[in-house]
Amino acid sequence: MKTTYEKLDEIPFELKADQVLKGLRLRQSNATIERMVRRMVEEAADVARPKAIYAVSAVSNKHENWLEIDGVKFTSRIMRVNFDQLNRVFPYVVTCGTEVDAVKAPDGDLLGSFCLDAIKVHLMGTAMRYMTAHVKRKFDLGKTSFMNPGSLADWPITQQRPLFSLFPDVEKAIGVRLTPGCMMQPLKSGSGIMFTTETGYENCQFCPREDCPGRRALYDPAMFSKYA
């Protein structure tokens, strides 16, 4: 199967001050805070360009704890089990975009920095939702799940390198680069592999952390035995 890539750089988004204020989770607000948030939101709405890139990739050479995607080796027992019956998956990178860096928080204002982070998180989430809906519609997919490098000990953050190698040049395409420590810049970017599933899967089922704001499923210790 020939690898197909698509860049999504005209992603529509809605950015409202009330959404950002809610994301800040402030115990109380005031007119000064609201003015600052509204100013930053207006500036961000003028320049922001959330983006995504995804590939349609072939799965092959499946072994006990590793497999190949487009000829690139990925080591993960959980991935190997999840992709057992699949011959096609959808690697991706999404980002808030570098353009929003033009928006500046007031010097030394910690709340302003939090506000800018909340704006970027919202833009990244928009890019993720748009990419997911686009791929599902284009390829007529049913139920899908995601695996993300660094979200599980079984698939560590260093697996960002082979994931990024599946694309010709992610930085040139959508402005995202890997640091030597395999973190993404801009920080408010996400990467992973989208795949079809009949049974459902969430990384969160393997994570015992109780205070995670991004939790999408309950921790399930029994999941470990299913993947052993």
Q: What is the pLDDT of residues 124-183, one digit of tens each?
A: 999 999 999 999 999 999 999 999 999 888 999 999 999 999 999 999 999 999 999 999
Q: Which residues, in sequence order, are bridge partners of residue 177?
A: 185
First to last CA, the chain: 30
The span from the CA of 118 to the CA of 44, in Å, is 11
Predicted local confidence at residue 156, as pLDDT: 96
Predicted local confidence at residue 144, as pLDDT: 95
E strand residue ranges, the chain: 4-8, 51-60, 66-69, 72-75, 88-95, 144-147, 177-178, 184-185, 189-196
Q: What is the pLDDT of residues 14-31, one digit of tens each?
A: 999 988 888 888 877 888
Q: Which CATH architecture has domain 53-100+121-226?
A: 3-Layer(aba) Sandwich (3.40)
Phi and psi, residue 75, nearest 5°: -105, 115
Q: What is the pLDDT of residues 42-97, one digit of tens each?
A: 999 999 999 999 999 999 999 999 999 999 999 999 999 999 999 999 999 999 99
Does the predicted TM-score (pTM) go above 0.85? yes
Q: Which residues, in sequence order, are bridge partners of residue 94?
A: 52, 190
Q: What is the pLDDT of residues 122-140, one digit of tens each?
A: 999 999 999 999 999 999 9
The span from the CA of 87 to the CA of 123, in Å, is 31
Helix (H, G, I), strand (E, B) or coil at 121: helix
CA 32 → CA 6, 29, 106, 112, 133, distances in Å? 43, 8, 12, 11, 38
What ranges do the domains of the chain cover?
53-100+121-226
Distance of CA 131 to the CA centre of its chain: 10
CB 127 within 8 A of CB 94: yes
